[in-house]
A and B are shown apart, each in its own frame.
Chain A
Amino acid sequence: MLGYHLVVSMLIAVIVGSLLLGCKPSVEPIDSGEPEEATGQDTSVCITCDSPCESPLGVTWESYGQGFFQTYCNACHSSTTEARNGAPEGVDFDQASVTAAFEERIRVRVLEEHSMPVGGGVPEEDLVLLEDLLVCLGQSEHSDPQDSSPDNEPQWSVEEVLNAVSAGLQYGLPDPYSPRDTFLGMFVGRDSQCPSDSGFNLSGSFNGCLSSTGYRFAGTSAYEGPTTPQKGPFHLIGDFYIIDNQAQWFRGGGELLVERVTGPGVWPKIVGASILGSWSYDGDDGWLGGSSTLATWIRIESQPTSWTLELDGSFGFGEHYMVFEDLLFDSDECGGHPKGRLGVRGLDGQWYHLDFGQACSGCAEISTVDTILGEGCIDLRDVGESLQDIMRLHQ
């Protein structure tokens, strides 16, 4: 098999040779540093090939160019991206006609100066093919594709979105003590043999064991904290299931954490908590009963007469899916109304966002990624306050 270097050197030879004798346009574009006007009209004449101009390797926009620019450039240089990362407006390579206007600058920046793409990283064989593409890019006719992005019409009204939020928060905001207390409660079902080790750590294979009381324990867990259901700092890592004697499953896959950020007796009292992973118990009549999965981070800051509660992350149970984005409940400044953003997923898979802003009114602008639906109001003061109460540590 041919060595890679030989192949590349051959191809370079092909290009050099053909530039001299082949398809190289006879009229050199002027390298002004500015793009040519993107007229799509030929600016040069191909002297040896049948029209339209063809490059030595036959590389075209369709066969290679579009993919090259997509791979290395379009994350920043496209007319549609929302993250240009400093790419100049209008210098876009997602359409052939526009790209062709920058042909000479592309040649200089990519092939000569190697200053684009930033950080380099273009394999030599791609550079060979790019050089070939640039030979004829300006002279080919291209039909730029029309925007075919799907139409995402919102399917919910403002009222339906608000109803979905209410349903999603019908049991309040998730708290780490519900799964923790369920975990502790499951140990009424243990016996001296099952699970095999001491304390609150399960062990052994996932085949698990069946206790004399009819509980099945399987998996592993690690727990630090009080062994009675009292509030306070704790840490539980779980990868287990426990089936109680009523055949109700308690599933634990992830991590629960409550920690004091500031020491006792210090104002403000700050508590951090996270509920990560999948936690659910068939026998629970709250949010834990709905096959919940969470990635929720909570921070509570208490003063003697006021408190704030911040939430980030996501929360799902049953068919209710919610996301918190810097959601902040402030008892003092906002009377318990939230600031920040709350999202809820529609049955069509679209996300509807409630942006409460800083108004402290309980009213939010409701929108999808493309469309503003309008304003809606919802009173969430109780959910914020109840979680704040649950999470308050006895210090």
Chain B
Amino acid sequence: MNWTRREFAGLVAAGFLAPSALMAAPTVASKRKFLFVFAAGGWDPTWVFAPMFGRSGIDVDTDSTTSTQSGIEFVDSQERPSVRAFFQRYGSRTCVLNGMEVRSITHDTCRRLVLTGSTQAQGDDWPAILAGESSGFTLPCLVLSGPSYTAKHPTVVVRAGETGQLSKLLSGEALQESDSILSGFDPRMTDLVAAHVNSRAGAFAGLRTGVGEAGFVRDLSNAHEQLALVRDLPDLDLGSVDTSGYVPVSQRVSPAITCFRQGITRCATVKHEGLWGTGWDTHAAIQLQGDHYETLFADLLLIQDMLENTPGEVEASLADEVVMVVFSEMGRTPKVNAQGGKDHWTDTSAMILGPGVSGGRVIGAYDDVLLGQKVDLASGELSESGTRLTSAHLGATILALGDVDPGDYLGSVPPIGAVLG
């Protein structure tokens, strides 16, 4: 059975999806924007999201304690002041998901699973779906860095390039960055050629009407339209990134904030590689997780600060329009290995905050071997008769927050109603 539009509507009617999120203000839901922050390498939830003290089967950070801020119970440490500060300031808008199963333990597969809910090569990730199911965005899905999977919506995904290549292509600066000295065409000639090529794309569409040609022709037309719109954008500043040193994620996100403000982007993705970009894959020295979390939450504080101080399209600030999803592709084993690190684990956590999210909540939990416990999706309470959270549930929830019917992509996997405020 698929999760059909009718059933989706039924869920809304039954109150599982709050009317305030999806019905009373549908335009807001469909206008919601999303920032995906991907902690690359696999984080250890027991260092922040899941206090697991006193379990013999789980090694934890012994220099930390359990604290609660704004309804969020978390692992608190003096070494991680930004974590505490973040939950103090934003806990009431934040929902933490614990015990989410990804079902694999290799980076490549887990990345695909956590972003698409499936191992299938031809799947779209949550940002691509949200962007593909919306209209009116010139750069619908902006990938600043990190993974991106798309099959059905290739034209919505726009890669900015890790060093600002998109800006350089648009301005023509890219041609100056060549061992052959090139200045490119003058603007008038560029325009003449572009007009010709655009017209040829139209002629091509007229001639290529076959079934096997349809996808290509459609996406070519879309790309041309999109390019024309991008060229018409005033003050589009996607920045360029100097790779000669470490660039904080809060700085990398800046072009996305600009695009959100201009209303040209619905989703943006950025990769977070922890302290000094050294990555979260701590097979040795598990204590580095603490440093990575501190760096991550310091960046998240700055990002939220930027969102709060940037006017939104509809709301007073982008903080009320942008949902932030913070996630990693996997968790880490319960026990420390011989190298003092932890290896890959199938169950992990994620964090969602922003408009439409039922904040101040932790949904789900881990058992004594760090596997997820079953949850009643509607209430968010632990329940033996409930459902094991998976990355597909995370995806369904994100899609629901964006006013996209999850059934169209995830079949019978429902959203976690309790997350939807």
Contact = CB atoms under 8 A, between A and B. Distances in A.
A108 to B, nearest CB: 28
Interface string A1-28: 1001100000000000000000000000
Nearest to A5: B411
A1 B411 CA distance: 17
Contacts of B411: 5
Contacts of B120: 4
Nearest to B411: A5
Contacts of B122: 1
Interface residues of A, number: 3
Interface in B373-413: 411
Contacts of A4: 120
A329 B219 CA distance: 73
Interface in B105-123: 120, 122
A353 B122 CA distance: 50
A86 to B, nearest CB: 24
Nearest to A255: B339
A1 B122 CA distance: 11
A5 B1 CA distance: 10
Nearest to A274: B338
Contacts of A1: 122
Nearest to B339: A255
Interface string B122-138: 10000000000000000
A156 B120 CA distance: 51
Interface in A333-383: none
Interface size range of chain B in the complex: under 10
Task: Label chain A's interface by main secondary structure.
Answer: helix
A4 B411 CA distance: 12
A1 B120 CA distance: 14
Nearest to A4: B120
A250 B411 CA distance: 59
A383 to B, nearest CB: 27
A58 B106 CA distance: 35
A6 to B, nearest CB: 11
A4 B122 CA distance: 11
A5 B120 CA distance: 13
Nearest to B119: A123
A377 B171 CA distance: 79
Contacts of A5: 411
Nearest to B215: A1
A319 B411 CA distance: 59
Interface in B308-354: none
Nearest to A237: B284
Interface in A1-60: 1, 4-5
B326 to A, nearest CB: 31
Nearest to B151: A1
B33 to A, nearest CB: 30
A296 to B, nearest CB: 14
B371 to A, nearest CB: 15
A5 B2 CA distance: 11
A330 to B, nearest CB: 27
A364 to B, nearest CB: 30
A5 B411 CA distance: 10
B214 to A, nearest CB: 12
Nearest to B2: A5
B154 to A, nearest CB: 14
A5 B122 CA distance: 14
B198 to A, nearest CB: 29
B92 to A, nearest CB: 41
Nearest to B152: A1
B370 to A, nearest CB: 19
A253 to B, nearest CB: 14
B8 to A, nearest CB: 19
A1 B151 CA distance: 11
A259 B402 CA distance: 57
Interface string A278-290: 0000000000000
A178 to B, nearest CB: 23
A210 to B, nearest CB: 23
A1 B215 CA distance: 11
B22 to A, nearest CB: 27
A112 B411 CA distance: 25
A307 to B, nearest CB: 26
A5 B412 CA distance: 13
A58 to B, nearest CB: 25
B221 to A, nearest CB: 20
Nearest to B118: A4
A311 to B, nearest CB: 18
A4 B120 CA distance: 10
A381 to B, nearest CB: 31
A94 B120 CA distance: 30
Nearest to A123: B119
Interface string A148-183: 000000000000000000000000000000000000
B56 to A, nearest CB: 22
A1 B123 CA distance: 12
A17 B120 CA distance: 29
B395 to A, nearest CB: 17
A335 B86 CA distance: 66
A366 B411 CA distance: 62
A224 to B, nearest CB: 14
Nearest to B120: A4
Nearest to B284: A237
Interface string B230-272: 0000000000000000000000000000000000000000000
B237 to A, nearest CB: 33
A232 B120 CA distance: 55
A4 B118 CA distance: 12
B277 to A, nearest CB: 14
B338 to A, nearest CB: 9
A9 to B, nearest CB: 13
Interface of A: 1, 4-5
3 contacts: A1-B122, A4-B120, A5-B411
Closest 3 CB pairs of A and B: A1-B122, A4-B120, A5-B411
